[in-house]
Amino acid sequence: MPLVIDERPPAAAAADASLRGTLRALRELFGDRALVAAGTGPPLERIAIRSDPPSVAPCVPLEVPGARPIDVPTEPLVSAFLDGVQRSRVVGYLAGSPLIYASVAAAVRQRVTRRLETWREPSLRRALFASRGKLGETAWNQLVDSGVAVVDITADVTDEAIPVHPFALRARALDLVALEREGLERRLAAEWCRGESRWLWIDGGISGNLAVDERATAFGVVKSHTTLYGSAEQVESVLTLKAEERSPAFLVGHRPRRAVASWYLRLRATAGGDPLHGLVRVEISPPMDMLDPDQITDDARARLTAHCDRLSAGILAERAPLSLPDPRWDTLTYGIHACEMYLDALVGL
């Protein structure tokens, strides 16, 4: 669900939504006392600490055990890449509460005569994230009347439950910014799936995107592995995959999200013994006849195997050119890397 943004009124429709325009509005309303040296520190996304501990989660096997070697095709399967970015900065404080300016964007970049071009229009949102309860109605209404798009980060809590610690308020803002980015990505994926029969590579998982069903020509590629799926024996098998090998597919139930079919694929040989080097996890929407493992027929399993092999081959075909000098080059393919660079230039924060 998209965020509820307190938009500027029609009289201020020409207000500048950029970081510079927002800072100008804040300075005019509250003076320099409310502002910090915006732009001198890194985006909050770079300093946020991930709290999820490493874990191993169960899954339901859909194929027989054993690594499967994949033949790399000479022609690409993937026609387009979808990615999103977010950038947030604390730009000031009022009543001890942080004012966080954020930009989120998402785009699909498609292949056109061997070059990447933007499919349709990219999505871009900019807003100031703050606590209405902490700022008070007077300051809040002044912000809205000035034309600044404002998101209330504590709209769902009572005044008594609003966090006092500014880091807690900052964390709430980051969560809402991430939700807005995910919403932009899902809407673009849904548009693609409604009107395209070409294959779309989505950066990240697809479990929350109901538009990516079993008929959709879209799949997700997960590059991080905070959670590994399978039994101890299955995980050990995944960690010892060779380059151009994939694991058997399995079913992962994301509650309250729907289940996805997934498998691991090794893009490149391990470096220095790192078992996660070059390892990605692919997600697709499972066919209806694969949702009950006890009722899977041999024909359904064979169709799934062929489908997973085809997509794995298409993913392996995207390993060149390398996305260097990005440190994630072993799992960040150039199509997604190019999409990120395009979005970074679009956001400009």
Give the model's pLDDT for residue 257: 56
Give the model's pLDDT for residue 12: 43
Angle at 221 between CA 218 and CA 222, to 5 degrees: 145
| Helix boundaries (H) for 224-333 | 232-239, 298-316
Give the model's pLDDT for residue 1: 44
Pairing type for strands 115-118 and 97-112 reads: antiparallel
- Spatial distance between the Cα atoms of 213 and 217, rounded to a whole number of angstroms: 9
- Alpha-carbon dihedral of residues 163, 167, 171, 174, nearest 10 degrees? 120
Give the model's pLDDT for residue 11: 43
pLDDT by residue for the chain (349 residues), tens digit each?
A: 445 555 544 444 446 778 888 888 888 888 876 777 655 667 888 776 556 789 999 999 999 999 999 999 888 999 999 999 999 999 988 888 999 999 999 999 999 988 999 999 999 999 999 999 999 999 999 989 988 899 999 998 888 899 999 999 999 999 999 999 999 999 999 999 999 999 999 999 998 787 788 889 999 999 999 999 999 999 999 999 999 999 999 999 755 457 899 999 999 998 888 999 999 999 999 888 888 878 889 999 999 999 999 999 999 999 999 998 999 999 999 999 999 999 999 998 6
Give the model's pLDDT for residue 260: 92
